[in-house]
Chains A and B, each alone.
Chain A
Amino acid sequence: MVKIDGGRVRALRESKGLTQLYIATSVDVTTDTVSRWENKRYPTIKKENALKLAASLEVDLGELLDRDEAPEPDSPETPPEPPEPAATSMADDGPEQVTTPAATGAAPRPTRAIKTALIITALLLSGAALALFFMGRGQNRPLEISVRRIAPPHFVAGQPFPVFLKVDAPADEPRSIILKEAIPPGLHVVTALPPISGQDKKDNSIKWLTKVRGTTTFAYTLRSELSYQGTLHLDGFVKGPDNATAEITVDGDRQSTSGVHHWADSNRDNRISDEEILAVYDLAGSDQPIGIDMELIEDIWLGDGYVWQAQQQRFAVRE
C-alpha cells in the first residue's frame, strides 16, 4: 500500500484534460474510487493501482506520493478545531474519518447572515458549473478518428471467428482513445489483440484504452454457444479521453448470421479462393495471434473445397 496525494492526482488529471472515467478504465477501478482517491477519502491505495494510476497520468509514481506523512498543521485562517471526535468509520479500500459535531457547544455557531451567504455562494457556483457543462456539450471537439469494423457475414455456431476494428487516426501524434465493443448475447470473447484493457460484465462489453497513431488494427475472436441460431448485431464506439470530444460510432459491418459456411468463405461457395485467403492474411497477419485456425484455412484453400460436419463439429476438406 502507498499513500497518494489526492489533490495532486486531481490537478494532474485536470491539467491533462482527462476524465475520471478514463483514469478509472485505465486503472480498472470504478469512477467512484477515483473520486475518493482525489477527495483524499482513500489516501492509501494498492501499489499496483498506484503504478497504473501514474502510468495513466504519464508521471512517475513518486510524483503522486504524499510525501508529508504527518498531519498538516492548521493554517492561520482555520479556526481552532473542536476536541478530537470519537466517531470513525472504515471504508472498503482504506480508512475514512468522519467527524461528529462538537458536543461541548464551545465552538462559535455560524450566524444566519453567514449561512445565507454560504447558500447563495453555493447556488451561484452550481449555476456556473451547470452553464459550463452545457456550453461544453455544445462545443465537442472532433476526435479526428474513424473506426471501421470488418466482421464475417456468417459464422458456424460453436466455432471461433474474428472481428477486426481498423482505427484510422492522424499520423502526426498519438491520440488517447477508449474503444468499446458490445458483445452480443450468447457469445463470448475467446481472445483479443492487443489485449483488452477491461471487460464490463454488466453490459457485456470489452474495451481498449490506448494510444493510436495512423492506422491500427484491433481484433477479437468470438465464439457462440453451440445452439446459437440467428443474426448477431455488433455495436461499439470510440471516444477521446476528455469530455470535450464527441463519441464516434464504429462504422462498417454490423451483423453476422449463423450458418454452415466457414467465416473466411465470404461468397459461401464452399471453397476458399485466392482473394479470400489473401483477405484473411491481410487482416489477421500470419502468426495466429487471435485464435484462428489458419492451418485449416490454408488446407481449404489448397484443397478442393470443404463441408461442415455438424455431428463431428468440424470442417472436412475435400482433397
Chain B
Amino acid sequence: MKTSRRYPSAAAGCFLLALLFLLATSGHADGVSARLFQDQPNSVIVEISLSRPAPSNLIVEVFLPRGVAVTAGQPKPAKIERKKGSVRWLLKNTGPGTVQVRLVANQAVRLSDCTALIRYRQPGSGTLIEITAQQ
C-alpha cells in the first residue's frame, strides 16, 4: 500500500502491463475477443466481439478432431480442408459489434478437441495479430 501510494503511476503501469499480457495470451486483444461454443452436439460456433477501432477484415480458422467432416457452414466457408481438418472463413467489411461463424459436423464433437484461430491486421499499425477463441 505504501509503495502504491508513493509510486501510483508505476503501480498503474505494472497493472496495465499485466492486463495487456493477459489479454494478448487469451482470446482477447486490441478490442477483439472470441469464444467457442455449441448450440447442438455436432455444431461449433465462433463468436467474435469487435470494439473500436475494429479490424475491417478477419480470417477465422477452426481445427476439428481427426475423422470429423464438415457438412455445412454459415456463412459459407472460404475453404474446407479435409486432410488438415480445418475450415477457413474470410470475413470482410467487419465493424464494431459481434460476428459469428457456425459449422455443422457429421458427428458430435467435443469443444475441448476443437481450436479456433482469428487473424487480423491491427488497425493503425497493420501488424498481424492472431488470437485463440476461448471455450
Flag A126-164 by CB within 8 Å of B: 1 or 0 each. Answer: 000000000000000000000000000000000000000
Interface size on A, residues (CB 8 A): 12
Contact of A286 among B55, B78, B88, B93 (CB under 8 A): B93
A60 at the interface (CB under 8 A from B): no
Contact present for A274 and B57 (CB under 8 Å): no
B35 at the interface (CB under 8 A from A): no
CA gap between A302 and B121 in the complex, in Å: 18
Contacts A274-B59, A278-B59, A281-B56 hold; do A302 and B79 have CB atoms under 8 A apart? yes
Contact present for B78 and A274 (CB under 8 Å): no
Flag B108-135 by CB within 8 Å of A: 1 or 0 each. Answer: 0000000000011100001010000000
Majority SS of interface residues in chain A? helix
Q: How large is the interface on B (under 10, 10 to 19, 20 to 34, 35 or more residues)?
A: 10 to 19
Contacts A277-B90, A279-B126, A302-B78 hold; do A286 and B57 have CB atoms under 8 A apart? yes
CA gap between A74 and B108 in the complex, in Å: 97
CA gap between A302 and B120 in the complex, in Å: 17
Chain B residue contacts of A285, Cβ below 8 A = 56, 93
Question: Which parts of B3-40 form the interface with A (CB within 8 Å)?
Answer: none
Q: Which residue of chain A has the shortest Cβ distance to B123 in the bound complex?
A: A282
Chain A residue contacts of B79, Cβ below 8 A = 302
Chain A residues packing against B (C-beta within 8 Å): 274-275, 277-279, 281-282, 285-286, 298, 301-302
Known: A281-B90, A298-B78. 6 other contacts (CB 8 A): A275-B119, A278-B57, A282-B121, A285-B56, A286-B93, A302-B79
Name 28 interchain pairs, CB-CB below 8 A, sorted by A. A274-B119, A275-B119, A275-B121, A277-B59, A277-B90, A278-B57, A278-B59, A278-B119, A278-B121, A278-B128, A279-B121, A279-B126, A281-B56, A281-B57, A281-B90, A281-B92, A282-B55, A282-B56, A282-B57, A282-B126, A285-B56, A286-B57, A286-B92, A286-B93, A298-B78, A298-B90, A301-B90, A302-B79
